[in-house]
Chain A
Amino acid sequence: MMAISSLSSGLTVTAGGWERVNLLALPAVATIGIALIWFALRQRAEKAAAA
């Protein structure tokens, strides 16, 4: 992940500029958010089932 992000950052900033670098980071951050929401809902459902 680190190697890919390092290499692709150079390609992106030189080809598309700083704005594109940031726009490309958005879906990755959103993926983390979705994964966390999924896990929190799963945890809540498990607790409800156990209660």
Chain B
Amino acid sequence: MNSTKRNVGLLAACQALLFTNNSTLIAINGLAGLALAPYVGLATLPVTCWVLGGAIGTMPASLHMKRVGRQRGLRSGTFWGIAGALICAAAIWAQSFWMLCLGTLVWGVYNAYGQYYRFAAADVASPDFRPTAISLVLAGGLVGGVLGPTSSRWTIELLAPKFMGAYLALIGFALLTMLLLRFIRIPTPSAAEQSATGRPLREIAAQPKFIVAVLAGAIGYGVMNFLMTSTPIAMQICGHAYGDAAFVISSHVIGMFAPSFVTGPLIRRIGALPVMFAGVLLNFVAIGIALSGIAVAQFWWSLVILGWAGTSSTSAALRFSPRPTAPRSARGRRARTNRPSSS
């Protein structure tokens, strides 16, 4: 096996482990929040903190990796995951809601670093192999969608209090990621690539096409997140077992990633706008199924279709948006074309 394929394989494994953790967090954070929150309406605040941690961490993670290199940066990113999981486990042990929020906020920073695995794949691959490399790394998310919720079914009550074992198990996945990252060799971008700039953001943002793309991408992903985050709580309220909720979340994550293999070619063939329309229609179908009843099957179909809808609308929106024209952005462009929404 040549070094490129080995590196891409290792990055795909890192992506799988990242989404093992992410899908576990989607499944358990809301329920742990519900168990600890001083007011039930705050049940999803730990999920919100996780999202905020990711948002806060994205830019510093990028600057950090620019300074120390992609590989070292990604490896140090896993420390945030280990620290976050430890704080979450301590919060469950101490039954502290606010500590749980802190833990998920810290964990979010790890997620911010993890979003760069796909770009690392672009760095290690030759121009011809780049789209395939990015797709292969993103396919790791599929594996994570199965591994995470499945393993959490075993670990959620492994230790008392409930949820502590599931949070501690996340440390194992982060440690394994750190180990795998040791064996990846990522070339440093050339000075020309690092200094390349695109069109000014103000110029891009003034275009109606950009506004529509941002609106569709942001609202589309927001809707998916709105429904996905509340699903485990809704299923518990409806009397379903955690195993059923974990299965639904697992299928949703698979639903998010599986179409990424076809959305890219589909967008190239029929255009981004029709794919975005299809995403809107799928959203209506998913909501219609959810409104038709509260059986496990209805939750399952609704969330799977919601995953397809989220991927279709956000990846098409990203492809639809006007581009900066600098050479370095081409890598991001390819990554974005195939990108499913990253939870």
Contacts and interface: CB of A to CB of B under 8 A. Distances in A.
Interface residues of B, number: 47
A33 B280 contact: yes
A9 to B, nearest CB: 4
Contacts of B33: 10
Interface residues of A, number: 36
B294 interface: yes
Given A15-B41, A22-B291, A10 B47 contact: yes
A28 B219 contact: yes
Contacts of B219: 1, 28-29, 31-32
Contacts of A36: 212, 216, 273, 276-277, 280
Nearest to A40: B273
A36 B284 CA distance: 15
Contacts, number: 133
B71 interface: no
Contacts of A19: 291
B225 interface: yes
B125 interface: no
B52 interface: yes
A6 B225 contact: yes
B305 to A, nearest CB: 12
Contacts of B133: none
Interface string B47-63: 11011100100000000
A3 interface: yes
B273 A32 contact: no
Interface string A1-31: 1111111111111110111011111101101
A1 to B, nearest CB: 4
A13 B51 contact: no
Contact of B226 (A25, A32, A39): A25
B237 A18 contact: yes
B307 interface: no
Given A32-B313, A39-B273, A14 B233 contact: yes
B43 interface: yes
Contact of A21 (B30, B45, B222, B234): B234
B208 interface: yes
11 contacts: A1-B218, A2-B55, A4-B222, A6-B226, A6-B229, A7-B45, A10-B40, A14-B233, A26-B284, A29-B283, A43-B273
